[in-house]
């Protein structure tokens, strides 16, 4: 069921729409070089698969491929993770530790969610890109590395530069070769092939004999907007297959919002939904507040901010990077607001 060698696909990616053929061509052209690559596109579009393909098609394929999710760690932990630390550099540093850049020597390092890196740490990243050297946290010894850097982001870094959250010089160092991964809603002709591939994969994994998909189910899936892109499609296909009686995916096994029987969830294009939530929260709280003063207004706005962050956190399953993207704020700003509003239990 995996694409034939004659098809213009790479890296386990499925689909040969014109948009994806451009991605394949660029990946093959760039892979043999050591040029830095910046992968852009919405969450779930396959950026890590392209990063792995760039590594495996390069002369560095025999070396390590090291992935770092920059959005999953705080600033201090991320610095130690990337560059390592020496014993005694901080309270919990009981022994020397090799960082990810060191571990990737001779290979490739993939920096996912590069937009989440703090402004201060970006300076150190810029030096690695320019000079290929760094120091471990708590050490003065300079370490030189031979590493190819591939970065990925699901936000517009130009907007981050404008808002003062991302260094312009680092952006130009990363953006040597930009590759854009199109969202699934722009790849309608690929959906049927993707669905059948995932149905085959999960029928094998779960020992379900059939893995067939009805034409009606395909039609609904092709009409859906896919805010979660391929990752969302993958989850719905697996769910439908597991819930099926005979291994056949029928339309009634799809979520109601995919079939148009319920509103679609908030996705990357849900700014109107967030505005409506804000409006409702403000109206409700103002109606409860009898005093007409700046203190009352500040109280209302503080309440609205807390409730909005809480709702989007829950819709994002506690993932702070996704929450920050939907709210249109920097992840560090979101982290501070979570602390201010004591919402730590909702974030993981």
Question: Within 10 Å of residue 168's Cβ, how many Cβ atoms?
Answer: 12
The verdict on residue 333 lying in a domain is yes
Q: Which of 102, 80, 4, 44 is nearest to 226 (CA)?
A: 44
CATH of the domain at 166: 3.40.50.300
Res. 2 pLDDT band, cuts 50 70 90: very low
pLDDT at 1: 35
253, 282, 307 — which closes off a domain?
A: 253
Contact 117, 125 (CB under 8 A): yes
Q: What is the mean pLDDT of residues 122-126?
A: 94
pLDDT at 12: 73
Shared-domain flag, residues 178 and 217: no
Shared-domain flag, residues 99 and 242: no
Rg over CA atoms, the chain: 23
Find the DSSP H helices in the chain.
18-30, 47-56, 75-83, 100-103, 119-131, 157-162, 168-174, 191-205, 215-223, 229-243, 271-288, 294-315, 320-327, 331-340
Residue numbers of the domain that contains 41? 18-182
Helix 331-340 to helix 294-315 angle, to the nearest 10 degrees? Answer: 120
The verdict on residue 215 lying in a domain is yes
Question: Within 10 Å of residue 342's Cβ, how many Cβ atoms?
Answer: 9
Per-residue tokens: 165: 């959250």
Q: Of 86-100, 157-171, 190-204, which range is least confident?
A: 86-100
Q: What is the mean pLDDT of residues 264-289?
A: 53
Shared-domain flag, residues 209 and 108: no
CA dist., res. 45 & res. 14, Å (int) = 11
Count, residues in the chain: 348
Shared-domain flag, residues 163 and 312: no
The verdict on residue 213 lying in a domain is yes
CA angle 17, 21, 24 (to 5 degrees): 140
The verdict on residue 261 lying in a domain is no
Q: What is the mean pLDDT of residues 161-176?
A: 94
The DSSP H or E segment spanning 330 is none
219, 253, 287 — which closes off a domain?
A: 253
CATH of the domain at 249: 1.10.8.60
Highest mean pLDDT among 89-98, 111-120, 296-305: 111-120
The verdict on residue 7 lying in a domain is no
* Total number of domains in the chain: 3
| Partners of 68 in beta bridges | 111
Shared-domain flag, residues 29 and 154: yes
Tens of pLDDT, residues 211-254: 789 999 999 999 998 989 999 999 999 999 999 988 899 999 99
The verdict on residue 263 lying in a domain is no
253, 286, 302 — which closes off a domain?
A: 253
CA dist., res. 153 & res. 115, Å (int) = 6
Shared-domain flag, residues 302 and 247: no
pLDDT at 241: 92
Higher pLDDT, 278 or 174: 174
Shared-domain flag, residues 238 and 334: no
β-strands 142-144, 133-135 pairing: antiparallel
Q: What is the mean pLDDT of residues 59-80?
A: 90
Shared-domain flag, residues 142 and 277: no
Contact 253, 245 (CB under 8 A): no
**pTM of the predicted protein model:** 0.73
pLDDT at 275: 52
Tens of pLDDT, residues 8-50: 567 678 888 998 999 999 999 999 999 999 999 999 999 999 9
């Amino acid at each position: 069921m995996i694409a034939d060698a004659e098809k213009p696909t790479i890296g386990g990616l499925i689909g040969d729409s014109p948009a994806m053929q451009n991605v394949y061509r660029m990946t093959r052209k760039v892979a043999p070089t050591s040029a830095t690559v910046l992968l852009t596109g919405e969450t779930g579009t396959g950026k890590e698969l392209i990063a792995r393909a760039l590594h495996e098609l390069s002369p560095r394929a025999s070396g390590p491929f090291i992935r770092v999710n920059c959005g999953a760690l705080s600033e201090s932990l991320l610095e130690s993770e990337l560059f390592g630390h020496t014993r005694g550099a901080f309270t919990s540093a009981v022994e020397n530790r090799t960082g990810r850049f060191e571990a990737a020597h001779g290979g490739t390092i993939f920096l996912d969610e590069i937009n989440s890196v703090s402004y201060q740490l970006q300076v150190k990243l810029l030096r690695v890109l320019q000079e290929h050297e760094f120091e471990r946290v708590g050490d003065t010894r300079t370490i030189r590395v031979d590493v190819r850097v591939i970065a990925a982001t699901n936000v517009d870094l130009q907007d981050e530069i404008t808002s003062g959250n991302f260094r312009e010089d680092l952006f130009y160092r990363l953006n040597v070769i930009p590759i854009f991964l199109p969202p699934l809603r722009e790849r309608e002709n690929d959906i049927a092939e993707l669905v059948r591939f995932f149905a085959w994969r999960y029928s094998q994994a779960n020992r379900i004999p059939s893995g067939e998909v009805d034409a009606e189910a395909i039609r609904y899936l092709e009409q859906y907007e896919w805010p979660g892109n391929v990752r969302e499609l993958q989850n719905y296909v697996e769910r439908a297959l597991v819930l099926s009686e005979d291994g056949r995916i029928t339309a009634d096994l799809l979520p109601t919002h995919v079939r148009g029987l319920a509103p679609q969830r908030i996705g990357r294009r849900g700014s109107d939904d967030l505005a409506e939530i804000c409006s409702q929260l403000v109206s409700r709280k103002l109606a409860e507040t009898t005093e007409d003063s700046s203190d009352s207004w500040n109280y209302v706005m503080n309440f609205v901010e807390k409730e909005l962050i809480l709702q989007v956190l829950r819709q994002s399953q506690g993932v702070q990077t996704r929450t920050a993207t939907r709210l249109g704020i920097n992840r560090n700003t979101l982290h501070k607001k979570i602390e201010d509003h004591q919402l730590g239990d909702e974030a993981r």
